[in-house]
Structure 1
Amino acid sequence: MSATDTVTPARAGRREWLGLAILALPALLVSMDLTVLHLAAPAISADLRPSASQLLWIVDIYGFLIAGFLITMGALGDRIGRRLLLLIGAAAFGVASVLAAFSPSAEMLIAARALLGIAGATLAPSTVALIRNMFHDPAQRTTAISIWFMSFMAGSAIGPLIGGALLEVAWWGATFLIGVPVMVLLLVLGPVLLPEYRAPQPGRMDLPGALTALVSILSVVYGLKRIAEHGFGVVPLVTVVVGLILGALFLHRQRTIADPLLDLDLFRLRTASVSVLALTIGAVAVGGVGYLSAQYLQLVADQSPIQAGLWMLPPLLTGIVTTIVTPMVGRRIGPGTKTALGLAVAAIGLLVVGQANDDSDIGYVVAGLVLLFGGIMPVLALGVDIVVAAAPPERTGAASAITETSQELGIALGIAVLGSITTAIYRQQMREVVPPEGVPADAAEAARSTLGGADGMADQVGPALLESARSAFTDGVQLAAVVSAVMLGITAVIAAVVLRKVQATGGASH
């Protein structure tokens, strides 16, 4: 053991914790903007009259560009300075928010949302990398990242609630303006409370690699989302395959150039590799089952969007509590045990969701989501901590981008794969249902395609066909939940074995 290994890391003080509070705000807003438009879409449609394709791009392009630019922005922050990039991104996010709020056309709103996505991609890796620089004590760093992650998850959950509340008293553009004062606060207090850090010898920026990564990730995410919404088809499948090929070329390039965007040596550490696996599989479960549960609450249990959002609060609050408490209790318990236990609890929650039926009984779904969020959110926060701690200080921006990208891809993969499983079960069962007399052919076809189509034509399809559609959808949700539980269970075993030797004091030791 070297002398440096025995030095006690400096503990963070009041300034660092105040800085963490500032860093939590953009994390909250970036994730909130992913979902805040879900309730505003009808008002936007009425005002700007976008085509169906344009409306999809208004909703989707923000998340697409965040996922696509995360790796590039993480590496850029390591080179020009993480605080500088954070402040540039905050200013751009504020300007784009104003442009989006007052967009006079669908094209303008799409462009503004695209700028919001690029700006949002600067914020997430910069905040996590700065936390790594501010909190050197492993236990404090784990707590800080848990609080940051809690803010990120909270934003996606409260987005529809805040959007719904604002739409009651203001126009749809107000959903964007809530980010402006927060970014102004970050621009004012950031230079005072946040340290600057850049890599001492960053090397040249790999622009061809950045472009390859961008196109690869955009292709995969776009294809997966289209598969989730419309089922398997030639175009989305080709898009995913092209994205995977470009991803393989990107990884090969990173192994051969002198100044890579990603330090692939990080993945030679089994702890980092397994943590990224846990992040990805956890995001698959949360993204896919969360997406299906939201549909169940609205289309099977007949809850309004705001009511469905309120039913999602108990799972979210449970996840927040467990994320904060986990680093504080059981400090002698290693990350491997914590990760395995969290994944096991989440898997049990998914099995509970799998008990849901089609008689509008939402108890199983809410109880299962409580266990899912309560178990998985601390695991995701711990995974971010392990990966970022494993990276050299000059590479933490790129390392944090890896964790964010794995979660974005996991969510997209979860929605696509689990959504496709549910859709396949639904369509198979609905093909065998004979529409009652008097049901128009177009209404029957809509009911056979999706539960949303059946619900949208409820007056025409009649109660019997609608009940069959709800039953078929519920069967699909049950199977998707069980598949997710199996994936989490396997990941829990892998984590328990591979991470068993990681020290309990912080996850940075290997």
Structure 2
Amino acid sequence: MSEISNLETENAPGPKATRREWIGLAVLALPCMLYSMDLTVLNLAVPQLAEQLKPSAAQLLWIIDIYGFMVAGSLITMGTLGDRIGRRRLLMIGSVAFGLASIFAAFAWNAETLIIARAVLGVTAATLAPSTLSLIRNMFLDDRQRTFAIGVWIASFSAGGAIGPVVGGLMLSQFWWGSVFLLAVPVMVLILILGPILLPEFRDPEAGRIDLVSAAQSLVAVLSVIYGMKHIAEAGFDTIAVFFILLGIVVAILFARRQLRLADPLIDLALFRTPAFSAALGVNILGLFVGFGAFLFVAQYLQLVLGLTPFVAGLWSVPTGVAMIVASMTVPMLATRFAASNLIAAGFVLTAIGFAICTQVGTTSSPLLVTTGLVVLCLGFAPVGTLTTDMIVGSAPPERAGAASAISETSFEFGGALGIAVLGSLLTSAYRGRMDQLVVTGLPEETVAAARQTLGGAVAVAADLPPAEAERLLTAARDVFTQSFAFTASICVLLSLGTALIAFLLLRKASDDGDGKAQVAADQPAHSGNAG
């Protein structure tokens, strides 16, 4: 097993990428765009899907959530599997499986089969992101070129999120709900044709077999914690949430102890002893915690307060995707002039400004106001996502690139789930507290009580009321939600500023602990040379 050592040798400038690597990068961007699109297009299809398949409320939640659960739970195993059997081979296998699962989902005949299809899609999607990121680590050995390639990689996710609502909306206007899943098929065929031609193969020549017990432990640990967090966001902090979070923590401890005993562990815990790796991972989780919560608030605000359809709300999200693409491509150029720690801290400050803009929203505000806040937020988050990802994969040895990429992707899932759970609970608590103090005259108490739980509940109750009473209830609930949204955004302003300071200190300390020899030194300009 390779040791994480000899940093001076590792820091020697690598050879420049050729035209083949740059064209190969375009191929790697395709599954990333598709991965992101698959997360957005389903939300548009939910109304048609619910009408035709008639799932129960619990089944509908599982249709939406099971994909993310299975992605998160499978990332570590799939990333390590790529190190063993080859990153390109795993990408090809995953592409075939993803395409077949997409066809299965498109023609699902009831809610149960769609849940199964979405679960399979999640497992197969977990092969895509770690494989693409680890291939980038091996294809681009020059530091600055790798940073630029990772910027393209992150931009491809943003591009998928931006075009997903548009393409999905067009498909749903012409075809049935399952058509949105068929978007994956031609993309996967293209990957299967171009991948073997343009992408090199990499694997760890000394890797052994995958330990199935470790794989099961990682799956249970990740799924349990994320399920507990999502349960908090949906139902509040209760014994079910505590049970699953504690179960996940216990299994994670058992997993770590097992890795220390194995001759060929699923994850080499020595990775976490690299200062740049651990610091960047921590900052990444903090960034996702703050950022992901915002999109949860905004989606509800646009649709339930301003009354936009999902498709129109999706169109208003396009500028944020464009901002993320532009910023992700710009960060590598800025990294040649400014310290990575400074860029990341400045990014969090810009994120705070974006949240500050969101505090000014009202029940009659233009969608442009909240979109402007999100655009500024995305401009600030771009250096966080690009540079921390670069540090994580760049500080790991090439033969462990798959495992490092999987850990990076898992941190995205954890940070996002934690942000949605904590900030979502904060927003819900603020809403309920304000609604409890509100007196809505002329309405039955049981009606008001149901509306006090969530804004979605208020909208559902209002649908069964006479127009005048419905309008009074919705006006009150929307006003309270907007106040709660502004309050939560103000908390995020403080969190972003605090995270800026933490990120700056953590990355500086990582550089000091590494004696300036970390793969991507946090207190030096990230790279030098040309991006190709």
Q: Give the TM-score normalised by structure 2.
A: 0.91
- Given the superposition, is the C-alpha separation of residues 353 and 141 from structure 1 closer, same or farther in structure 2, using an over 3 Å criterion? same
How many angstroms apart in 1 are the aligned matches of 2:450 and 2:502? 43
Are 2:324 and 2:379, in contact at CA under 8 Å, matched by a contact in 1? yes
Further displaced range: 414-423 or 266-275: 266-275
Q: Quote how far apart the aligned CAs of 1:351 are.
A: 2.0
Secondary structure of 2:126's match?
helix
Are 1:343 and 1:376, in contact at CA under 8 Å, matched by a contact in 2? yes
How many angstroms apart in 1 are the aligned matches of 2:437 and 2:226? 33
- State the partner residue of 1:450: 454
2:282 counterpart of 1:277 = yes
- State the partner residue of 2:147: 142
Secondary structure of 1:129's match?
helix
- State the partner residue of 1:119: 124
1:193 maps to a residue whose letter is: L
- State the partner residue of 1:26: 31
How many angstroms apart in 2 are the aligned matches of 1:363 and 1:88? 43
Q: Quote how far apart the aligned CAs of 1:346 are.
A: 0.9
Secondary structure of 1:299's match?
helix
- State the partner residue of 1:65: 70
- State the partner residue of 1:420: 425
Once the two structures are superposed, the pairs formed by residues 206-355 of structure 1 within 5 Å of their partners are 206-355=211-360
Are 2:316 and 2:367, in contact at CA under 8 Å, matched by a contact in 1? no
Kindly tell me the number of residue pairs found equivalent between the two proteins: 506
4+ aligned runs moved over 6 Å, structure 1? none
How many angstroms apart in 1 are the aligned matches of 2:419 and 2:9? 43
Match of 1:397 among 398, 402, 425: 402
Q: Quote how far apart the aligned CAs of 1:6 are.
A: 8.1
- State the partner residue of 2:202: 197
2:327 maps to a residue whose letter is: T
How many angstroms apart in 1 are the aligned matches of 2:436 and 2:223? 34
Further displaced range: 161-170 or 387-396: 161-170
- State the partner residue of 1:504: 525
- Given the superposition, is the C-alpha separation of residues 465 and 144 from structure 1 closer, same or farther in structure 2, using an over 3 Å criterion? same
2:501 maps to a residue whose letter is: V
Match of 1:104 among 95, 105, 109: 109
Q: Quote how far apart the aligned CAs of 1:441 are.
A: 4.5
Secondary structure of 2:219's match?
helix
Are 2:53 and 2:111, in contact at CA under 8 Å, matched by a contact in 1? yes
1:45 maps to a residue whose letter is: A
How many angstroms apart in 1 are the aligned matches of 2:86 and 2:7? 30
Are 2:87 and 2:135, in contact at CA under 8 Å, matched by a contact in 1? yes
2:113 maps to a residue whose letter is: M
- Given the superposition, is the C-alpha separation of residues 104 and 3 from structure 1 closer, same or farther in structure 2, using an over 3 Å criterion? closer
How many angstroms apart in 2 are the aligned matches of 1:223 and 1:491? 24
Are 1:37 and 1:160, in contact at CA under 8 Å, matched by a contact in 2? no
Superimposed CA distance per residue, residues 55-104 of structure 1 (whole angstroms, 9 cap, x where no aligned partner) = 11111111110000000101110011111111000000011011111111
Secondary structure of 1:39's match?
helix
1:417 maps to a residue whose letter is: V
1:234 maps to a residue whose letter is: T
Q: Please, which runs of 5 or more residues in structure 2 have no aligned partner?
A: 1-5, 512-520
Are 2:287 and 2:499, in contact at CA under 8 Å, matched by a contact in 1? no
Match of 2:95 among 90, 99, 103: 90
How many angstroms apart in 2 are the aligned matches of 1:232 and 1:346? 28
- State the partner residue of 1:35: 40
- Given the superposition, is the C-alpha separation of residues 231 and 7 from structure 1 closer, same or farther in structure 2, using an over 3 Å criterion? closer
Secondary structure of 2:332's match?
coil
Further displaced range: 236-245 or 367-376: 236-245
Q: Quote how far apart the aligned CAs of 1:361 are.
A: 4.2
1:447 maps to a residue whose letter is: A
Are 2:335 and 2:527, in contact at CA under 8 Å, matched by a contact in 1? no
1:455 maps to a residue whose letter is: V
How many angstroms apart in 2 are the aligned matches of 1:259 and 1:492? 37
Q: Give the TM-score normalised by structure 1.
A: 0.95
- Given the superposition, is the C-alpha separation of residues 353 and 5 from structure 1 closer, same or farther in structure 2, using an over 3 Å criterion? same
Further displaced range: 65-74 or 485-494: 485-494
Are 2:220 and 2:251, in contact at CA under 8 Å, matched by a contact in 1? yes
Are 2:161 and 2:321, in contact at CA under 8 Å, matched by a contact in 1? no
How many angstroms apart in 1 are the aligned matches of 2:439 and 2:63? 38
Further displaced range: 190-199 or 34-43: 34-43
Identity of aligned residues (%): 50
- Given the superposition, is the C-alpha separation of residues 257 and 479 from structure 1 closer, same or farther in structure 2, using an over 3 Å criterion? farther
How many angstroms apart in 1 are the aligned matches of 2:147 and 2:448? 53
- Given the superposition, is the C-alpha separation of residues 252 and 487 from structure 1 closer, same or farther in structure 2, using an over 3 Å criterion? farther
- State the partner residue of 2:362: 357
Further displaced range: 353-362 or 84-93: 353-362
Further displaced range: 136-145 or 161-170: 161-170
CA RMSD of aligned residues (A): 1.9
2:389 counterpart of 1:384 = yes
2:477 counterpart of 1:469 = yes
Further displaced range: 360-369 or 71-80: 360-369
Q: Quote how far apart the aligned CAs of 1:3 are.
A: 8.6
